[in-house]
Each structure stands twice: as structure tokens, then as C-alpha cells.
Structure 1
Amino acid sequence: MKDSKGPQPTALPADAPSSLPRLASSESLSSAQWIPCVALDVECTREHFHAALLDLVFQPELSSSTILRGDILQDDEQPLSPPLSLPGYRCTRRIRRRLLPSRPSIDWAMEQECLSYNAAINDEEAPDQDGEGLVLLVPDLEQLRQEDPDGRIPYYHPQVAALAFRYFPPTSSMPSPSLRLDLMPLPSQPVAAPLPPSDRLYRTGLMLVKYAAKLCKGQAVGWQKRVHHDLLAGKEEVQDLYQELKTKYTADIAAQSPRITFRWMLHNWRESTDAAKHVFEDVAIAAWLIIVWRHMYPDTGGQPPGGFVDVGCGNGLLVFILNAEGYRGYGFDLRERKSWAGYTSPRPDLRVESISPPALIAAHLASVSSASSSRLSEPSSRAAAPGPEWPFPRDSFLIGNHADELTPWLALLAACTPGERVAFLNIPCCLHELSGRFERQTYSIPAAYLASLPTAPTSPVDSAGASATTYPLLTPFYAPTPSTFSPSPSKDPGASITGGRYAAYQLYLAHLALRCGFVPEREALRIPSTKNFGMLGRKRVWDDGKGTEGGLGAEERRSEGEERVKREVAELLREVERKGEWKARRPEGKAGEH
């Protein structure tokens, strides 16, 4: 359906006024004429225009799904000698970027000059404060010849030698500011003006102007980004590994099939669920996890010391990829899935198993209490009845990827797992509490628990990911702000959120993590799912020295913190027992007969 709200773009005739001058400093393009394409009224200033186009330059993937990202090679905010000069305009910023395709098997990378200009007064150096703004996007045709023998421009970029985004301030004859796009044809591909509406180049120009206008409006109304990505792992690292894994498993998995393409797994998916969603999602999660582990465990080569355990592993693809990449660990689920038998070389460690977290944790607390008592008294002659075996190795990394009713238990299970380097990742989907469904629309974390949080970093995490000493606490998710939070529980009720049931559920999980002594860090994962938030518990609150008695050393802080967590876990278990709603699922099929 065509959007009829607000001003609509209009096609420009070949003789549209205010034509751009030729690129006098470019030998290959100096003879090319600009072709007016499309224009659209906008309500913004020239400053808003330049800020909006910077967003387009830094995040080109938002305007096209065929672009992976743009790597910035150079950013000069005061260019003394810009590579391209335009009579009547002064260059105010030069950015050189390298565009990377989302389909490297089809497209190739391309370098591009992104040049910002302001109109000058009578061709002087001083810019016209109320004049035109201009941003040129110019592919490096010489560099393209090195990437492609024919020097072709990749599919993800319009087949032109240059794009000119132009901002015009209001005048007596044009009362509204306007945004306009002009195109410069390739020397080898002349284009007739005006462009017909059915032409692909015109349709692309129309889309770009609409998107740029949306960014301009966002700048004008003070839009602030609410969801921040790449805070716990660098975008470049994760995306590059994701592409590497896709390429690698195109060959490895498809080796049994004559169709040596990534489509092999999609066509041979044995589950009733959406193949495309699960395949690409699990590859993306694996890439993200591997990068996070590299930063978490540099002393063990990026390996969790106790391996990993995928709780409720479902189709087992994530376990297969991690095992195949050399990561030790296993996954378990209630029943064997059809896809398990298809994973070979190597065969992943997938197990049919059902656990009852209340029974496991109760037995764990009893054994800890018994061990503590035995150290203070004579050994008893009667052996204690053995409880269920603890299924998580020491210092293991627990994964809850859409683990359903086990999701809220992940922090408790991690808290009870022995070792000082235990950690977990929760990717919640279905909303379950420790007992029953989560039905609340809002949730608050008491201020006393927020007071135990480490101080948030003052600057964003760089592209290399989080270091061992930074805690990317994501406002306004749960981290306190000076205007809304006081560390004194008597003065402030805590942090709350009103973004709907799923947002409230994340706060609930964050509260559980804090009660279990973990610092909950949230990441918006780049996966094809609407439930794409991951919660990472990799640091303990007492590591920062907060939330414990002042003046204690590191050992005393840890000991005091561990005792507090035992009390919290025991209290949570008592709450579940009082409600009496938890029921462990039985393994399905023959596995449930034992």
C-alpha cells in the first residue's frame, strides 16, 4: 500500500532548476552531466540534513538488505584538499568507506568517497549560512577495476558514477525546505533524462530519497535510538565470523549432497519449524558466542573452562556448530529431534534428558549444607541419601536459547554450578516465571539490587568488544540514571519499565540474575527473530566490590557474596514450593519409559 501521509516525492524534469556543476577536478567524470531524479519536501534544517546523511553513510545496511556494513577507512572533518571539487561549494567533511556485501558469493566490496559540502557565497570560501547543503557519494571506479576485471559496480549500489543528495532551504517561491537527488551516469552507460518511473534507477532513487527524508525528520524531532547493538561484541568481528561460518558450512555440511550450496541445509531441514529462520539464527548466535568467548576466556584460547551446556537444545544445530568449531560441550532436550541424526563430521554431543530445577537445586543446597556441617562436627556413620547428579560441569557456560520454562532457572542453575568462572547466556522467547506464566505488563527491580551494580562505562564499547573491566549496562533497560535512581532503598523504589510484557520479562530475568549474584548485561542480537535479546551473566557483583560490606578484601567480598546468593536461591526455591506449580516434563518417546 502506498503511503499517502505527508508530502510525496515528485519526479524531476531534465531541465529542473539549480543544476549541479560538473566535477571539475575529476578527469574521468568531468564531462558527465548531472541528471535530476526526484525531490521531496522535508521539515528540517541544513544541520539536520547533514546529521541524517551521516547516519546513512555510517550505517548503509539500514537502507539495503544487500549491504552488510560500511567500514570507515578515513574520516576527515576538516579536509584541506578534497578529492573532488565543485565550483560554488566548500567541502566540510570527507569520509572514505568500504562497502561490504551481505552476499559475498555474488557481490564484491567497493570503496566510496562520501563528501559533505555547503554552498559558498559568490564562489568564496565562506559557506552560505542559509544556503544549500550537499552530500556526494562517489564510487572509486579505479578501485573497482581491481575488485572486478570489468570494473562493474556491485548490484547493491545504483549503477551510477555518483549520487548527489541535496538540501534546499525555504525561499519565497518554495516555502518548504526540500530534499533532492541527482544522479551522474556512468561513462559507459549513458542515461536519458528524465528517468521513466518504471526504470530501476528511478525506483532506487525514490527509495533513497524517502529513506533520507525519514532520517532528516528523525533529526528534526530529536529522535533517539532506543535499541543499541554491538555493546558486548564488536559488529565487525561477529559479522566477519558469521560470513566465514556460512561459507565453511556450505562445504562441510553439503559434502554429502551434490548441491554444494548453503541451501542444502535449508532444503534438507527435518523439523516442522521454519528452516530459514533457525539455520541463519543459530549460525548468527554461534558467531556471537564465539566472539564473546574469545574476550571472556583469552587464557584458554576462547574456550569456556568447563565447556558449554545448551539447556533445551531443540534441533541441536547450535551444539553441532560449536562442537564442529572445536568447542567442548553438549546439549540436552526432552526428546531426540529428527535433525540430530543428520549431523556428522563431527557428531555433536546431544542427549535426551529431563531435569527438574527445583529438585536439583534443593539437593544441591542440602549437599552444601551437609558438607558445611560435616566440617564442624564428627563424621556421621550413616551415609546421606544421594541426590540427583549435578548436570553442569565446573566453570561451565550455560546456554538458554528459547529454553521455555527453563529460561528463568538459568541464573539459579549457574549460581549453583561450582567454579568461579561460571557464566550463562539467556535468549528468552516464551514468557515463564520460576513457576507459571509471566503475565505482568510492568516490572520493577528494587533499588537495593540496583545498588549492587557496577558503575556503567562513560563511553560506548569499541568495535573490539567489551574488555574484562567494562560493564555495558544498557539504559534505559535497567541501569539507573541520576534523575530516576538513588542508591538508598528508602528514597527510591527502584527501576521499572513499561515497554510491554516482553520488556517487563527482561527486567524480571535481570532481577533474578542480580539475586543470583550476576551482573545482567543485555545485547540486541542480530538474528532473524523478534525475540532477539540476549542476557549475558559473566561477571559477579562482588567482583566490583559493591553490594557487600565495605572494607572487605576480595576473598571476603566473594565469600560474603556467595553466602548471600545461597540465601537468595533458597528463598526463591521456597517461593516455588509454596506455589507448587512447577512440574518437570518427562522425556518423550522411549526415553520417558525409564
Structure 2
Amino acid sequence: MKFQPQELPLGSPPFFEDEANRTWVPLYSHACSFGPDIFVDKMMNLIKNPNLNSSWLFRADILYDEAKTKGNTNSIGSSSSVRPIAVDIRGMTLERTLVRRLIPRNERRDKPLEQTCALFTTKPAQDGHDISSTALASGSGSGSESGSRSESPSPSTLVIYMPHSTSADSLPFYHPKVQGIAHLHQWDEAGKGTISIHFLPYPEHPLSDARLQRTAYHLLEIIDKHGHGAAEGYVKRVNHDLVIPQDRFQNRYALLKSKYARQLVDSWAEKTDPSKHVFEDLGIAAFLIELWNDMYPKETTTFPGFVDIGCGNGLLVYLLTQEGYAGWGFDARERKSWAQYRTGGQASPSGSSLEERLLLPAMVSRSGQDQANADANNESSDLSDGVVHDGVFPPGTFIISNHADELTPWTPILAACSRCPFIMIPCCSHNLTGDKFRAPPPQDKTKAKSTYASLVDWVSRIAEDCGWKVETEMLRIPSTRNTCLLGRTRTREVPEADIVALIAKYGGTGGYYENVAKLIKSGPRGH
């Protein structure tokens, strides 16, 4: 059903009555084919994820949650210092009240805002049963993609947002200049429904304002999209925040961004777009810092150091070392940025945080043909001592493989051999010889078959065969290549002989030496 809502003329009679005699003005209405259970589920998801409605917001922190279940009050995480705004709607029953704090992406520009969210229902005329408030209290609408069915369908369900603000002028930019926002769902026994959006205006901010009209249209469009998606069986494919909670990641990211972003963008030395790469690496650094806080509690554990293989422009190494984490990175070619990002590297061979080195794993044998090809191309001399790294790291060193291209499939192998945890963020597809190739599609028929999905599945299987339990996190970074594969737990030990067999299973290393030698003569590979 195409979204073409009916625009309601200003001055249209209200659809519901406020006990405080405030007038809620209807702005748009649209037919819907999803029932009240889906509406409640989607509205609760939007309450907890306001970033789905506004790109200016990170998330919402729930400060208060009180649901009424068959005459009783069930408080979930309620704080005595938080008080919701009282709202009463004539002829409707208050089922659940929440207070959320809207967290903006940039707190230097916008302040957080607390907002009461209230859910009301009406009783069917025929039997007097309410919508299942027990389901509301016990988890329906907690962000899951399928809500619990009502015991009896309700003709009307209303969700109201009331900002905790003393005036329109004190509202942050991301919130429309209104005293309240209401979403109304109406349903009939024939399986047909209507959704509508309503504003409670400030006298000094008329609803004829074009921005308020656009905001109302957008809010209704979002619930229409999510509601019909659920009704048609849409299942969410990507799940974020499985390793690090959203609030911890976003708080760390905001801190790093306020500390470094402007300086890094202004001093960018590469030809690439700083607005992408700076914020991408700030996001990865935020994830790693929070991950390491879990893995290496400062009170009891010493951080073992890190190495960033294929470190590219070196920004991630710079950020992590600036935040007090000892480590270093290397790449086949030095970048312009290294001059400003290079610091002391406590764990590196030369004492520098960024080094020009080629990775030639110790387990790679130089076949006669490889040697002959290298000699014919006068490439042997390029692999002198001090330029090549054998991929053996001190046990426990945390290996970072961030868009490392040719080194990506080697990452879990090197980690297993050196007994080091790792993350890898795959980007471009290369095999174990360093050649570009198309990874085979996933054997699991339920998985996506794209080039990138195939690469992620392929390197995940290498990691699992190396004895790693692979954890997956979809990073909140400005990149479509945002799948992070984490190996920090061993499922079994894999003998060296089995590693050799595993390398053969995944295509072998024939030609690897020659390809590595060529890298020293090629330009930067990009990052």
C-alpha cells in the first residue's frame, strides 16, 4: 500500500478528548492493514529507538517504565527522581507510562530531552475486555519484531509523547515546537484500520508552519512503514550491539568525537574524504576501547598490547595510543599521515607506532617456482631483513585487521598460531595467496549471497576451522563494510600440522611470496 496520507485541514475536530481540555490537532490520516498488536510493538520499538525517526539522535535511555496489569501496577526500572507528565484521555484506559531521555548525536549543539510516553486503549463495546496489558508489561514492544497477540482486539490504541519542557524555545532543535505528539491507531472487526498523527500546539507556533507539517508527515510514514513491514512478515536481518551495549558504545564515540574529530578533519593529509575515514575510525576505536574494558579490567589485568596489521593511514593506531593503549601498526607502504600520527610503539620492533613492513607468514614455504618468479622480476632484494614481518606476535597481543584486504583471511590463522585474540573487519576479497577472488557463496541457504556476505562467511569458516568461537558485531560506522568478526575464545587447540592442512583446504599459498614482493613496489592500497 503506497503511502499517500490524507492531509486533514487545520481546524478539523479532534479525534480524542484530553481531560485537561487541551486540543489535539489531527494533521494526517492513512489506512492501514496491521492490527493493534503490531501497532503497539512498533511504537514501543520507536520509543526505544528514536534514531529511527531522527538522524540527529543516538538513542533513548529509558528512565521510568510503569505498566498496569489487571488492576495492579508493575514498575520496571522506575526511578523515584523521575516523574512522568500526567495525561488523561477521556474514555481511554492508561496501560503503560514511560519516561525516556533522548540522547542527541552532538551534545555540544543539542541537549538531551526527557519525554513522557503514554499508551492508552479503549474497551470494545461487545465484551469489555482490554487489550492485553499483561503482554505490554512482560515484553511486547521491547524492540522484538513480533508482538504478542491481544486477548481481544481494541478499536483504538493511542501513544502520546509529552516533552519535559517549560516552553517551545527551550526545546532542542531535533524536537518539533509542540507540547505533545500523538499516534492513534483505530481498528475494526473486518480487519481494516487507520493510523493518524496529532500535535498539541504551542499558541506561538501555529501548525501551518511547513517544518511542523513535514515532521508530522514523516512520523506517520515511519509507523506506516514499520507496521506494514511486520504485517508482511519482514524479519530484521541485522542486529546491532550484541557484543557492546549501544549506550556504552555511543557514549564512548561521542567522547572521542568531541576530543579529536575537528582537529583530525582539519589536518587531514590524505586524498581520501576525511568526513568518512575520521568518523569511521573513531567508531572502531570506541568499540575496541569498550571491548578492551571488558576483556582487560584495569583493576585486575594489564593490557597486553595490540598490533594493527595493514594499518593503512595509521589513524586507528594513533587514536588508540593517544587513549593510553600500547601498540603499533604496519603496512606495505608509508602514508603521508604517518608523520603526524607516529608516536612511540612500545611493542614494535623499532620502537615506532607505525612501520613500513610486509607480512610473510612463517608457515609460508617459498616454492621453487615462487623463488624463480621473484628472481626473474628482481624482487628478492626487496624482502630484506627489517622489511618483512613473519606474522608471529607475543602471545596475547590483540590483533586488529581493519579492512586489511590481502591480510584478512590470514588474520585468524596468525592469531591461532600466536595465541592472540583478534578482530577483523573484512572489506575487499582476497585469497590466501593475496590474489583477488570471489569467495564461494555461504553453504547456509538462509544467508545472503552477495560478494561481501560471501567473503564474511568464508573468513568466518577459516576462523572456526582454526579453533575460534567467532562473534559477530555490526559496527555503527559510516561504511557498508561494517561487519566485525571477533575471536577471543578458543573452542579447541589446533596443531601446527592441522594449520598446514587448513591452509591447503582454503586454496594454499602458491604465489604468495611473489605477490608480497610486488606490494613493496606498488603504491598505497588505500584504507
Asked if structure 2 preserves the Cα contact closer than 8 Å seen for 1:354 and 1:585, the reply is no
- Identify the match of residue 110 of structure 2 among 93, 107, 112: 107
Q: Greater CA deviation, 506-515 or 162-171?
A: 162-171
* Aligned length in residues: 463
Q: For 1:74-113, what aligned pairs fall within 5 Å after superposition?
A: 74-78=64-68, 83-113=86-116
The percent identity for this pair of structures is: 34
Matches of 2:451 and 2:302, distance apart in 1 = 35
- For the residue of structure 1 that corresponds to 2:108, the secondary structure is coil
CA shift for structure 1 position 570: 5.8
Matches of 1:302 and 1:277, distance apart in 2 = 34
Matches of 1:579 and 1:342, distance apart in 2 = 32
Q: Does 1:355 align with 2:305?
A: no
Seen in structure 2, the aligned counterparts of structure 1 residues 589 and 575 have a Cα distance that, compared at 3 Å, is closer
Q: Does 1:208 align with 2:256?
A: no
Gaps (5+ residues) in structure 1? 25-29, 250-261, 365-386, 445-477, 479-494, 543-557
Q: Does 1:131 align with 2:155?
A: yes
| Structure-2 residue corresponding to 1:338 | 336
Asked if structure 1 preserves the Cα contact closer than 8 Å seen for 2:29 and 2:195, the reply is yes
Matches of 2:446 and 2:88, distance apart in 1 = 53
- Identify the match of residue 178 of structure 1 among 182, 190, 194: 194
Letter in 1 for 2:297: P
- For the residue of structure 1 that corresponds to 2:409, the secondary structure is helix
Q: Does 1:414 align with 2:347?
A: no
CA shift for structure 1 position 577: 2.8
- For the residue of structure 2 that corresponds to 1:323, the secondary structure is helix
Matches of 2:517 and 2:172, distance apart in 1 = 54
Letter in 2 for 1:21: E
Asked if structure 2 preserves the Cα contact closer than 8 Å seen for 1:170 and 1:178, the reply is no
CA shift for structure 1 position 361: 2.1
CA shift for structure 1 position 505: 1.2
Q: Does 1:538 align with 2:471?
A: no
Q: Does 1:505 align with 2:455?
A: yes
Asked if structure 2 preserves the Cα contact closer than 8 Å seen for 1:311 and 1:400, the reply is yes
Listed one character per residue, the Cα deviations across residues 236-287 of structure 1 (whole Å, up to 9, x for unaligned) are 11111111111222xxxxxxxxxxxx43422321111111110000010001
| Structure-2 residue corresponding to 1:161 | 179
- For the residue of structure 2 that corresponds to 1:183, the secondary structure is strand
| Structure-2 residue corresponding to 1:403 | 404
Matches of 1:113 and 1:408, distance apart in 2 = 49
- For the residue of structure 2 that corresponds to 1:285, the secondary structure is helix
Q: Does 1:228 align with 2:239?
A: yes
- For the residue of structure 2 that corresponds to 1:209, the secondary structure is helix
CA shift for structure 1 position 343: 2.9
Matches of 1:309 and 1:181, distance apart in 2 = 53
| Structure-1 residue corresponding to 2:27 | 37
Matches of 1:497 and 1:581, distance apart in 2 = 35
Letter in 2 for 1:160: V
Q: Does 1:432 align with 2:446?
A: no
Matches of 2:503 and 2:522, distance apart in 1 = 34
Matches of 1:165 and 1:443, distance apart in 2 = 42
Q: Greater CA deviation, 11-20 or 129-138?
A: 11-20
Q: Greater CA deviation, 228-237 or 343-352?
A: 343-352
Asked if structure 1 preserves the Cα contact closer than 8 Å seen for 2:360 and 2:389, the reply is no
Give the aligned CA root-mean-square deviation in angstroms.
3.2
Letter in 1 for 2:156: E
Q: Does 1:279 align with 2:261?
A: no
Letter in 2 for 1:185: P
Asked if structure 2 preserves the Cα contact closer than 8 Å seen for 1:516 and 1:568, the reply is no
Could you tell me the TM-score, scaled by structure 1's length? 0.71
Gaps (5+ residues) in structure 2? 74-83, 132-152, 346-351, 367-387
Matches of 2:391 and 2:42, distance apart in 1 = 54
Asked if structure 2 preserves the Cα contact closer than 8 Å seen for 1:63 and 1:211, the reply is yes
Matches of 2:55 and 2:301, distance apart in 1 = 31
Listed one character per residue, the Cα deviations across residues 374-405 of structure 1 (whole Å, up to 9, x for unaligned) are xxxxxxxxxxxxx9755522321111111011
Letter in 2 for 1:20: F
Listed one character per residue, the Cα deviations across residues 125-151 of structure 1 (whole Å, up to 9, x for unaligned) are 854844111000111226xx8xxxx97
Seen in structure 2, the aligned counterparts of structure 1 residues 191 and 119 have a Cα distance that, compared at 3 Å, is farther
Q: Does 1:140 align with 2:164?
A: yes
Q: For 1:375-390, what aligned pairs fall within 5 Å after superposition?
A: none
Listed one character per residue, the Cα deviations across residues 139-181 of structure 1 (whole Å, up to 9, x for unaligned) are 1226xx8xxxx97111111111110100122499xx9421101
- For the residue of structure 2 that corresponds to 1:32, the secondary structure is coil
Letter in 2 for 1:183: F
Matches of 2:509 and 2:247, distance apart in 1 = 43
Asked if structure 1 preserves the Cα contact closer than 8 Å seen for 2:358 and 2:389, the reply is no
Could you tell me the TM-score, scaled by structure 2's length? 0.80
Listed one character per residue, the Cα deviations across residues 306-329 of structure 1 (whole Å, up to 9, x for unaligned) are x11111111111000100111111
CA shift for structure 1 position 76: 2.0
Asked if structure 1 preserves the Cα contact closer than 8 Å seen for 2:3 and 2:221, the reply is no
Seen in structure 2, the aligned counterparts of structure 1 residues 583 and 45 have a Cα distance that, compared at 3 Å, is same
- Identify the match of residue 253 of structure 2 among 238, 242, 260: 242
Matches of 1:204 and 1:87, distance apart in 2 = 26
Asked if structure 2 preserves the Cα contact closer than 8 Å seen for 1:297 and 1:304, the reply is yes
| Structure-1 residue corresponding to 2:142 | none
CA shift for structure 1 position 303: 5.3
Q: Greater CA deviation, 82-91 or 49-58?
A: 82-91
Q: For 1:466-477, what aligned pairs fall within 5 Å after superposition?
A: none
- Identify the match of residue 465 of structure 2 among 507, 511, 515: 515
